[in-house]
Amino acid sequence: MFLKTQRRDQVGGKFEVVTVNNGKDYQDLDQDQSIVSSANLDTQTTLGFTLPTRNIFWSVGGSPPFNPDLTTPYNTNEPYLEWLTYILGQPQAQIPKVITTSYGDNEQTVPLSYARRVCKGFAALGARGVSVIFSSGDFGVGKTGFCYANDGQQLALIGATENFFPEVAVSEGGPGGFNSGGGFSNYFATPKWQKNQVQRYLNYLGPQTYNGLYNRTGRGFPDVSAQGAKYVIAWQQSFLTVGGTSASAPTFASIIALLNDYSMSLGGPSLGYLNPWLYSEGYRGLNDVIGGSSSGCNTTGFAAIRGWDPVTGLGTPNFRKLQRLIQPWSMAMAQQNSRF
């Protein structure tokens, strides 16, 4: 139904469902929208952008160790370690070059030791040439009265924008109807590849703005953004208009998948671990977003400014610019590989 209206050239295209550790495979039409609408948004977005590229959807059972907080009193956290154990055990040829998820946990709801172990697993994927992409959340700097961060050093974290000419950070009062997540980690320090950009933003804020409400030495997020408002999905034989960083993350992931395809057509490799490249070179292929903010916690939150900011990151992808940016690298890598 979705492909008949959105990708008529790919009607009949499919994705694979793989269950891990007794994960659920919801296929009934009468499922509650809150359970599977986000999964439908993820899969339909990537299918719309990337078919006929192979798409795999994983459903994973299990739950991590848990520290309850005010916003998460019950353990609804994601079984990342179970999934990482599975995917890292697969042959190299069976691991996709781009992996995206729109399901995130508040960092303080898992032990620091567990968070570090999971991030080491994501680092192992990056070392195997995989780009791992996560959404940054839909509550700005935090729900009113409950402020938190959701992050990972080994992940490319994706915020959301809305409108065009100008494109601005998505907002609860705008077409998107939510606030793009962003801020600074309390678990992980600012990595070296973003230190200069984060420090520039901290200089803009000054030492007194929101003093004590965020960690000035923490990993800043998101890294980049993409459109996150007014997506159409097929749901129970009709169409819904939805949005969220659950839309912007698979959108950005799809663009990376298409760039990988372009690089490989030139004989080059996949882009792999994205963050060092995004901050050193890739930002030249992005549209800087300088409007909007990440409202929350009874504040206007952080403002989007020129360069990196904890609302829209480095900006949104410009596919043609990114293609031109990676072309020399892909061709150089192809030439280098031909010597061996």
Q: Output the known binding site for Ca(2+).
A: 288-289, 307, 309
> What's the CA gap between 249 and 6, in Å, rounded?
19
Q: Which parts of 102-172 fold into alpha helices (H)? A: 112-127
> What's the CA gap between 300 and 292, in Å, rounded?
9
Q: What angle do CA 73, 137, 291 make, to 5 degrees?
A: 140
What's the longest Cα–Cα distance across the chain?
A: 59
Instruction: Report phi then psi at 114, rounded to 5.
Output: -70, -45
> What's the CA gap between 203 and 197, in Å, rounded?
10
Show Cβ contacts of residue 91 under 8 Å, excluding neighbours closer than 6 positions. Answer: none
Binding site as annotated, residues: 288-289, 307, 309
Q: Hunting for tokens 């995130």 — which residue is that?
A: 104
Eight-class DSSP state of 9? G
**Contact between residue 178 and residue 172 where contact means Cβ atoms under 8 Å apart:** yes
**Contact between residue 126 and residue 154 where contact means Cβ atoms under 8 Å apart:** yes
User: Structure tokens of 267?
Assistant: 């004989």
Partners of residue 60 on adjacent β-strands: 20
Strands 56-60 and 16-20: parallel
**Contact between residue 188 and residue 155 where contact means Cβ atoms under 8 Å apart:** no
Q: Hunting for tokens 């192979």 — which residue is that?
A: 54
> What's the CA gap between 27 and 282, in Å, rounded?
39
> What's the CA gap between 16 and 8, in Å, rounded?
20
Helix (H) or strand (E) holding 323: helix 319-338
